[in-house]
Amino acid sequence: MTTDELAESLSKELRHLVLLLRRAVAGQPLTSQQYAVLGSLEGGPRRMTELAEEHGVQLPTMTVQINRLEEPGLVARGADPADARVRTVELTDEGRARLVAVRRSRVAYLSGQLDTLTQGEREAISVALPALAKLGRS
């Protein structure tokens, strides 16, 4: 297979996988973006700028995202004692609990899908993951 052919197949499958992921989160009490943001906060408080960069999003977008998580009490805003311009964001207990629950059900969904494959197919995916992870990081 030439690189171009591979690119074409990959492009097609990516679209398929996006739809798969969408189904995996449908009906859950957290959109996939909100889930991703909560995940970034697991290791402790972060600043808005960091979050925006990590998610490949502009600051205003992250502001709105955090507003929506703050309102139901899943995250809390704080301040940086060293620099009054920066706002920090951290998980509340409630937010942490929600994150864990949603993660469990997402992983369960994907696990169920992976179970329908053969052992060989799962291994093929497993082997390809590091390569996929490298894509676009250059």
Partner DNA sequence: AATAATAGTTAGCCAGGCTAAGTTAGACTG
Partner DNA sequence: CAGTCTAACTTAGCCTGGCTAACTATTATT
- The footprint of DNA (CB under 7 A) covers 31-34, 47-49, 55-68, 77, 80, 83-88
> What residue ranges bind a copy of itself (CB under 8 A)?
1, 3-4, 6-11, 13-24, 32, 36, 56, 106-108, 110-111, 113-117, 121-122, 124-136, 138
**Rounded to whole angstroms, how far apart are CA atoms 31 and 72?**
14
List the single partner that 106 binds among a copy of itself, DNA, none, CB under 5 to 8 Å by kind. a copy of itself
Q: At closest approach, how far in Å is the CB of 14 from DNA?
A: 14
List the single partner that 105 binds among a copy of itself, DNA, none, CB under 5 to 8 Å by kind. none
User: What percentage of the chain's residues is helix, strand, coil (to nearest 5)?
Assistant: 65, 10, 20
Q: At closest approach, how far in Å is the CB of 127 from DNA?
A: 29
Distance between start and end Cα atoms, the chain: 23
Q: At closest approach, how far in Å is the CB of 26 from a copy of itself?
A: 10
Q: At closest approach, how far in Å is the CB of 44 from a copy of itself?
A: 19
Polymer length in residues for the chain: 138
Q: Do 69 and 38 touch, CB atoms closer than 8 A?
A: yes
Q: Do 24 and 106 touch, CB atoms closer than 8 A?
A: yes
**Rounded to whole angstroms, how far apart are CA atoms 88 and 51?**
10
